[in-house]
A and B are shown apart, each in its own frame.
Chain A
Amino acid sequence: MNFEQIIKNVSGGVGLFGNEPDEPVNELLPQRNIPWSGSDESDDSFLNFIPKQKDIKPEISDEELNVLAEQEVDLLITQIDLALAIGKGGISELLVSSEDLRKLNDFKMGKEFVSSEIDEINERIRVKEQFEIAKPDNRKAKIDLLTKIIKADLIKKRETGTLKLPSVREFAYRIVLTEFSEISSRNPLIFSAIGKNIIKKVKTFF
């Protein structure tokens, strides 16, 4: 080994970090779609980073977005109608029970009863009938507004790259529920009957 050579080389030159680095090369990887968390760096694109729609795969068209929004609305409306109808049935059953109807029938058949009790039963039947036929106001307007809100939310998600297409199973489930929503909206009394049955069963249990 030539120690002299080594000593000669190392004296009088520049330090370890003296070389000017070469230009960086192009990045090969794609941008990430969501911002990084847990970092306070601000010099790069990883904070408040929102890619353009064209950079996000899969692209979701306006038409597809409308379908998703309508499905979402149908799902929500079905759930709301279901809860309301079951609730209505339950309340109806609480207002007028089978026992009340039996008493009323007996009264009509000529059996003796205290008239005040029959009057009270008749009054409850009247309230119940009014309650059952009552419909929410501005239902269409409310559904339209709900559709707008959901659509705006989906558009925002699409712009930030966080909107994901539902899985195959989820989509199939949505289709079933949408159809179910159509059927149930034509036959709201079905769920009302379910509510009545639930209350009857509960009462029998106690």
Chain B
Amino acid sequence: MLHPQGNRILFIGASDTGKTYECMQFAKYFRERKKSPKRTIVFDHTKNAVSYPETIQIELKDLDYKLPQRGCFRVKVDLAKNPKDLKVFIDKCSMLTNSCIVLDDTTGLFRRGVPDWVITFLGLRKNNRLEIMFQIHNIKAASPDILENSDIWVIKQTRDSFPIKDTCPDGDIVEMLIRECKKENSENNYQNLWATRIFVGEKNLIYRKDLSKPFLESYQDKINTLIDLD
């Protein structure tokens, strides 16, 4: 289950598995809940406005001021032109409270490793009431630091080959959940590869998404996931 103060949530999935959609559903929940709402701020470095239709585009400098409590924003940056904008963004986010920060395509973002200042920022999640969300396509290309620093794993089908690499915490469980997603997708006639599992490492909890239910009811704890495994 979610930590009441703040979480680092990792979304893993290949293209067309609904990774960004799921991520924005979480963001919507944090934004719209009655108690302790959190504004959404998407770091869009992949010119991916289409995937974030509900967002209002803002500039980095807009993060210097208090943003609306239930607002949904997208900071568009061009890292090819301004590579320092990631650090500027993280520095500004360090001053944010009660916010949900979404980093689009984290695999590409931290290809050369995760800098210390990002790790420091992740440490602010509880005191500053931040939800920090990463998106990656697979475990293989993901930075070990990101895997290590994620509390909640939202797992979808990936193109990882097995066994999962050693640097992945709880690799055997993650592998099993990816296998389950593959199996569910292959057995059902979904429009997209929407099968989803959630793994909360610290609590050893696993949630299986019930696609027939509305989002907030889709992650109940009636799990028999592991019983069916080989």
B36 within 8 A of A: yes
Q: Is the beta-carbon distance between A44 and B217 smaller than 8 angstroms?
A: no
Restricting to A1-50, which residues have a CB under 8 Å from any CB of B?
A: 1, 3, 5-7, 9-32, 36, 38-39, 41, 43-46
Enumerate chain B residues within 8 angstroms of A39, measured Cβ to Cβ.
56, 68, 71
Residue from the set B1, B128, B173, B198 with the largest chain A CB neighbour count within 10 Å: B1
Interface size on A, residues (CB 8 A): 37
B179 within 8 A of A: no
CA distance A29 to B93 in the complex (A): 11
Q: Is the beta-carbon distance between B224 and A24 smaller than 8 angstroms?
A: no
B2 within 8 A of A: yes
Restricting to B40-62, which residues have a CB under 8 Å from any CB of A?
A: 56, 62
Query: A15-B1, A21-B36, A24-B129 are contacts. A44–B69 as well, Cβ < 8 Å?
Result: yes
Q: Is the beta-carbon distance between B220 and A25 smaller than 8 angstroms?
A: no
Could you list 18 further interchain pairs (A-B, Cβ under 8 angstroms) beyond the known A6-B173, A7-B227, A16-B221?
A7-B226, A9-B203, A13-B1, A15-B207, A15-B219, A15-B221, A16-B207, A16-B220, A19-B2, A21-B35, A25-B98, A27-B98, A28-B96, A31-B65, A31-B66, A39-B68, A44-B69, A44-B70
B33 within 8 A of A: yes
Enumerate chain A residues within 8 angstroms of B222, measured Cβ to Cβ.
11
User: Can you report 5 residue pairs joining A to B where beta carbons are below 8 Å apart?
Assistant: A10-B206, A26-B97, A29-B96, A39-B71, A44-B71
B95 within 8 A of A: yes
Least CB distance, B91 to chain A, in whole angstroms:
13
Q: Is the beta-carbon distance between A10 and B98 smaller than 8 angstroms?
A: no
Interface residues of B (CB under 8 A from A): 1-5, 29, 33, 35-38, 56, 62, 64-71, 95-98, 127-129, 172-173, 198, 203-207, 216-217, 219-224, 226-227, 229
Query: A6-B206, A19-B4, A44-B71 are contacts. A24–B173 as well, Cβ < 8 Å?
Result: no
Enumerate chain A residues within 8 angstroms of B3, measured Cβ to Cβ.
19
Interface residues of A (CB under 8 A from B): 1, 3, 5-7, 9-32, 36, 38-39, 41, 43-46
Nearest chain-A residue to B35 (Cβ)? A21
Interface of chain A, helix or strand or loop or mixed? loop
Q: Is the beta-carbon distance between B221 and A17 smaller than 8 angstroms?
A: no
Q: Is the beta-carbon distance between A22 and B68 smaller than 8 angstroms?
A: no
Query: A5-B204, A7-B226 are contacts. A30–B65 as well, Cβ < 8 Å?
Result: yes
Q: Is the beta-carbon distance between A32 and B70 smaller than 8 angstroms?
A: no
Query: A9-B203, A15-B1, A29-B96 are contacts. A45–B68 as well, Cβ < 8 Å?
Result: yes
Query: A6-B204, A17-B216 are contacts. A29–B198 as well, Cβ < 8 Å?
Result: no
CB-based closest 4 A-B pairs: A16-B219, A32-B65, A44-B68, A21-B36
Q: Is the beta-carbon distance between B221 and A12 smaller than 8 angstroms?
A: yes
Enumerate chain B residues within 8 angstroms of A20, measured Cβ to Cβ.
4, 35
Enumerate chain A residues within 8 angstroms of B172, measured Cβ to Cβ.
1
CA distance A25 to B67 in the complex (A): 14
CA distance A12 to B205 in the complex (A): 12
Least CB distance, A23 to chain B, in whole angstroms:
6
Query: A15-B220, A19-B1, A41-B70 are contacts. A25–B204 as well, Cβ < 8 Å?
Result: no
